[in-house]
Structure 1
Amino acid sequence: MDFSIERDTDRAGKTTYLLLGGDFDRSAHRDLRRALKEAFSRARQGRVVLDMARVDELSSECVEVLLTGYTHALRGGHGYEVTNARGHVRLLLEATGLCPRREDDTLYAPVWLTGDVADAV
């Protein structure tokens, strides 16, 4: 496994923190789904906070799990927050709406130069 999921709770037991780290490739989505399910059952109408500070890669399967978790939180009356994402992981989560967009309100998209345009540069 190239990823880690650590769980912590506040003293009142109302907030469950999932500290994620490493490469969340397509094989990690099952463990992430299980960790979210356990976090929601522990939080009991509280909050689930996912700290993405140490995440280097995030597969589309894991993004789907995070979006499903958001839907579960809305339906179950839980708080749900994705924090500390950085780099391309942040950009991906901004595009899905799981992280707030930056103040400049622009999305980054690489420019792929092709054909005559690439030759001119």
Structure 2
Amino acid sequence: MGEVRCVIHRNPGKTGSTVFLHLDGCFDRGSSGDLRRELRQAFDRARGARVVVDMAGVDLIGSECIEVLLVGYTRAMRTGHGYEVVNAEGHVRRALEATGLCPRSDDNLYAPSTGDAVEAALS
């Protein structure tokens, strides 16, 4: 896979009540340490407020970085912070939907039963 390319931009937000992390690039095993450190610092700066992780620029996310985001969610739940992972697209979004970090884009959690599928096809 070539060199890991990841960029993390911090933005404390205009009201000071939200800390934004804007992620760009590929996030795999090599970038999980950087993401962990930045997320920890974001929680420290948020002081009980909200942390928003903007995934709009993420091209790839590995399991190590998904784990970091899940640890962030757990920390938010334990400490009373708000926490959101937003703007994920494509396969990155599907991976985050599978973990519950992003809401599902559809309401169909399960395939229809065989009887329902046959009935729909015949009507």
Corresponding residue to 2:46 among 43, 57, 64: 43
Where does the alignment leave 5 or more consecutive residues of structure 2 unmatched?
111-123
- Report the equivalent of 1:28: 31
- How far did residue 69 of structure 1 move? 0.4
Query: SS of 2:78's equivalent?
Result: helix
Q: Is the 8 A contact 1:16 1:47 kept in 2?
A: yes
- Report the equivalent of 2:73: 70
Quick one: percent identity of the two aligned structures?
58
Deviations 1:36-95 (A, max 9, x none): 000000001100000000100001000000000000000010000000000000000000
Please tell me the residue identity of whatever aligns with 1:2.
R
Deviations 1:3-58 (A, max 9, x none): 11000012231100000010001110000000000000000110000000010000
Query: SS of 2:88's equivalent?
Result: coil
TM-score (norm 1): 0.85
- How far did residue 106 of structure 1 move? 4.4
Q: Spell out the pairing of 1:1-121 with structure 2 (5 A cutoff).
A: 1-106=4-109
Q: Which moved more, 1:97-106 or 1:83-92?
A: 97-106
Distance 1:103 1:25 in 2: 27
Residues matched between the structures, number: 107
Please tell me the residue identity of whatever aligns with 2:6.
F
Q: Is the 8 A contact 1:13 1:42 kept in 2?
A: no
Where does the alignment leave 5 or more consecutive residues of structure 1 unmatched?
108-121
TM-score (norm 2): 0.83
Q: CA RMSD in A?
A: 1.2
Distance 1:105 1:46 in 2: 33
